[in-house]
Amino acid sequence: MTVTTGLGPVSLSELTAKAELQTRVDRKYVLPVADAGRLVSRLDPGTRVLEIDGERTFRYRSVYFDTPDLVSFRLTAYRRRRRFKVRTRTYLDSALCWLEVKTEGYRGGTIKNRLPYEPDDHDTVEPGRWFVDDVLGDDDLTLAPTLVTTYRRTTFLQSTGDARMTVDIGLTWTDMDGREITLPDVAVIETKTGSAVSPADRLLWACGHRPISISKYATGLAALRPDLPAVPWRRLLRRHFSPT
């Protein structure tokens, strides 16, 4: 995003040290890319942008895993308390890969556990199955790749120094049957804080944007599979998602 040129850089090591937030409160917003650009231009001048080797926007690829009857999806669709997600996340520009398990924490917070992973194993959980079973406390789940997402992300360290904001654009979802949705004009913004509302949240609210329920995995799968339950995202799907 070229509108980040007026903001200072932050290194990955400093960002991780100040705002690791593996246990966190996430707030998500969906808005047009143009509105996201205007929002970034209004951020506090003390906000900094993750910069690696002179680059500020990075390509991500995530593979989500679920059971044959889509337990992970259905727990999210029906807002169950013990919902979880299992995925590999590959940082395409650095060829780094992680196996990640996300679970619900106290009062709706998100707990993310992750394991360094071989990029060649991004389409399977088998080398890290022991890790998944340990986090979930269940070794009976049959997990297979269900959905692939790709996007470009810019990450901001907010001026408070302990909160992050990410802006994702170029969003694409592809299921295992080859169905695909691409949203070139939509941005997903996510604020990640320990608990308190961040300056970016307050700016988003002042601009008329409110947090919404969206899961890159579950919402994307519901968009590609009209036979699946989609009540939490029905309005969002009508407004923003359309198969290519």
Q: Show the domains of the chain with their CATH numbers.
A: 8-240 (3.20.100.30)
Query: What's at 62, amino acid-wise?
Result: S
Mean pLDDT along residues 122-148? 95
Residue from 240, 51, 241 nearest 153 by CA: 51
What pLDDT, on the 0 to 100 scale, is given for residue 244?
Answer: 47
Mean pLDDT along residues 133-154? 95
Is 182:172 a contact under the CB 8 Å cutoff?
yes
Structure tokens at 168: 């994702």
User: Pick the residue with more confidence: 140 or 22?
Assistant: 140
Lowest mean pLDDT among 16-25, 91-100, 225-234: 16-25
Structure confidence by residue, pLDDT tens digits, 101-127: 999 865 556 788 999 999 999 999 999
Mean pLDDT along residues 196-213? 91
Entry pTM: 0.91
What pLDDT, on the 0 to 100 scale, is given for residue 158?
Answer: 87
Mean pLDDT along residues 70-83? 89
Mean pLDDT along residues 205-213? 94
Residue from 5, 32, 6, 8 nearest 183 by CA: 32
Q: What percent of the chain has pLDDT over 70?
A: 92
Structure tokens at 80: 């169950």
User: Cα separation of 88 and 101, whole Å?
Assistant: 9
User: Pick the residue with more confidence: 196 or 66?
Assistant: 66
Helix (H, G, I), strand (E, B) or coil at 218: helix
What pLDDT, on the 0 to 100 scale, is given for residue 243?
Answer: 52
What pLDDT, on the 0 to 100 scale, is given for residue 17?
Answer: 80
What pLDDT, on the 0 to 100 scale, is given for residue 204?
Answer: 95
At residue 141, does pLDDT exceed 70?
A: yes
What pLDDT, on the 0 to 100 scale, is given for residue 155?
Answer: 95
* Sequential DSSP letters for 105-162: -GGG-EEEEEEEE-GGGTT--GGGHHHHHHHHT-S----EEEEEEEEEEEEEE-TTSS
Lowest mean pLDDT among 18-32, 72-86, 169-183, 217-231: 18-32
